[in-house]
Amino acid sequence: MSTFGLILHQVRYEWRSFWRNPAAAFFGAIFPLIFLVIFNLVFGNNEISIPGGTTHASTFYVPAIAAMAVVNSCFTGLAMNAAVSRDLGILKRMRGTPLPAWAYLLAKIIQMSLVALLIVAIVVVAGLLFFGVTLQPRMLPAFVLTVLLGSATFSALGLAVTALVPNADAAPPVVNGIALPLLFISDVFVRSTSAPGWLSTVANIFPIRHLSLALQTAFNPFEAGNGFDASHLLVLAIWLVVGAALGRRFFSWEPRR
């Protein structure tokens, strides 16, 4: 079998297995939707003025929540899933098959990117139907590509971060300890107005804010052009390469106890 066929085979089984865990799949898919509702309840969905015209506040909520959903499922979710699989001996068994290590990791990244795309699509459709959000058709390719690039980046980083996680019990504190502070300083939940400059610099180094801003660009109804935000996408691409290289080098197939 060709390596391409092997990867496709692997993606199919990873995908199937992911949706077979009903609780995990449900909350993964519904969680961002709950956030969208809560944002609307707490902060309202007022008309706001931005350069070019007025739009609903949800026009900002949806891309921010989409960014959060990508980080949540691809980085946090995949890292925890990999840590559990490693503890259960599933990864070690994979290592004893002809499937190359990189092909296994790539299949995980592809599968999680497809999962994230679906989850984001649910939030976007809800925004379009119920919260007065608009997505320009000319921006759609940019939006999809941004979601996929962001998902691939955070999946690669999620696999790489497992090198810092000795076992599944240690996964939530380590992974959340990295993801949650970065989500807070990256303007995903709240827009920082009084934060010191260095904190903004930190947020600009890491990829979350770049994903959120790139998605906002692709969502802005008054944005000229096709919604591709080259500078933010470039930062994401750099982190993708970094994550893939670190994952390829440090990913471990057996837990440390």
CB 60 within 8 A of CB 216: yes
Considering only the stretches 72-80, 97-105, 115-123, 190-198, report the one whose residues sit in contact with other proteins under the rule CB under 8 A.
Answer: 97-105
Q: Measured from the CB atom, is 64 or 91 closer to other proteins? A: 91
The yes or no reply on residue 169 touching other proteins (CB under 8 A) is: no
Q: Is 170 in the site for other proteins (CB under 8 A)?
A: no
Stretch that binds other proteins, among 41-49, 86-94, 132-140, 185-193 (CB under 8 A): 86-94
249 lies in the binding site for other proteins (CB under 8 A): no
What span, in angstroms and rounded, lies between the C-alpha atoms of 152 and 147?
Answer: 9
What residue ranges in the chain does DSSP mark as E strands?
Answer: 47-50, 53-56
Tokens of 56: 């609903």
CA distance 55 to 244: 38
- # residues contacting other proteins (CB under 8 A): 23
* Stretch of residues binding other proteins (CB under 8 A), selected from 94-102, 118-126, 130-138, 150-158: 94-102
User: Is residue 23 close enough to count as binding other proteins by CB under 8 A?
Assistant: no
12 SS3 class: helix
CA-closest candidate to residue 70, choices 162, 186, 170, 193: 186
The token pair that represents 75 in the structure block: 């980085």
Which of 1, 23, 42, 224 lies at the binding interface for other proteins (CB under 8 A)? 1
- Applying CB under 8 A, the span of 52-60, 84-92, 191-199, 213-221 interacting with other proteins comes to 84-92
Tokens in use for 18? 């992911």
Distance of CA 110 to the CA centre of its chain: 12
Q: Determine which helix (DSSP H) or strand (DSSP E) holds 50, and give its type and residue range.
A: strand 47-50
Instruction: Tell me the torsion sign for CA atoms 186, 166, 164, 99.
Output: negative
**CB-nearer residue toward other proteins: 16 or 138:** 16
In the bound state with other proteins, the residue whose beta carbon lies nearer, of 17 and 54, is: 17
From candidates 23, 49, 201, 257, binder to other proteins by CB under 8 A = 257
Query: Using CB under 8 A, which of 100, 141, 177, 225 touches other proteins?
Result: 100
**Least Å from the CB of residue 252 to other proteins:** 12
d(CA 223, CA 234): 19
> Would you give the DSSP letter of residue 172?
H
9 contacts other proteins (rule: CB under 8 A) = yes
Binding residue for other proteins, selected from 33, 90, 242, 246, defined by CB under 8 A: 90
Helix (H) or strand (E) run with residue 102 in it: helix 101-130
**Residues at the interface with other proteins (CB under 8 A):** 1, 6, 9, 13, 16-17, 20-21, 85, 87-90, 92-93, 95-100, 255, 257
